[in-house]
Structure 1
Amino acid sequence: MHDISPFIRCPFTDITGGIISHQLLGRCQKQEMDVMDCLEAYGLGRGLKKCQAYLDEYYECHTLNKQYRRFIAMRRERERQISKGKLTGDDKYVSPKLDSY
């Protein structure tokens, strides 16, 4: 997280800064703005400690680690149930109902 601001700042970096952020139609716009607002309020040194909750939320939105681990756990549970014989035949690969989310 130490690469928040560019090494050299000029009008070109100001113009192209939005390209590498999530502000241009990204899914993590709100989380990134929360992080930047918090870091602006506290500064980079103290902000990395004070804004840890915002940073964690932003990293999760950006990397989707928890979602991936949940997917792997569900897949392992399904494979375990298949190997134990609880799921057989067509029940092995039944998709969830459309309104179950």
Structure 2
Amino acid sequence: MSLSPFFRSPFTDITGGIVSHQMLGECQKQEMQYMDCLEAYGLDRGKVKCADLFSNFHECQTKTLQFKRFMAIRRERERQIAEGKLKGDEKFLNPRIDGF
């Protein structure tokens, strides 16, 4: 989470995008929603009121749920291989195109 600078100048306006996701970041939308909520409620109340938006933004940054899902799928595939349910070329089949 970033805070606004104590002294605001054209230099801080130019360099402010470096520490945010607004320039070529994939989490632009989540960051703006969180910052708008903080602006509406203030920093102290915003930390409580905007906690769900912060968790969405944090997930976008870290992708921890996506990684956990990937690991669960990998463990299930390894379990099926160990049990003998998947053999030969079936071990490495990709999901169906419409399976997502």
Q: TM-score, normalised by structure 1?
A: 0.89
User: In structure 1, what is the equivalent of residue 53 of structure 2?
Assistant: 54
C-alpha separation between the residues in 1 aligned to 2:86 and 2:5?
54
Moved over 6 A (4+): none
Q: How many residues align?
A: 100
User: In structure 1, what is the equivalent of residue 69 of structure 2?
Assistant: 70
User: In structure 2, what is the equivalent of residue 80 of structure 1?
Assistant: 79
- Percent of aligned positions that are identical: 61
Deviation at 1:5, TM superposition (A): 2.9
C-alpha separation between the residues in 1 aligned to 2:9 and 2:33?
24
C-alpha separation between the residues in 1 aligned to 2:63 and 2:6?
28
> Gapped runs of 5+ residues in structure 2?
none
Q: Which amino acid aligns with 2:72?
A: A
- Partner SS, residue 76 of structure 1: helix
Coordinate RMSD, CA, aligned: 1.5
C-alpha separation between the residues in 2 aligned to 1:65 and 1:33?
21
- Partner SS, residue 5 of structure 1: coil
> Gapped runs of 5+ residues in structure 1?
none
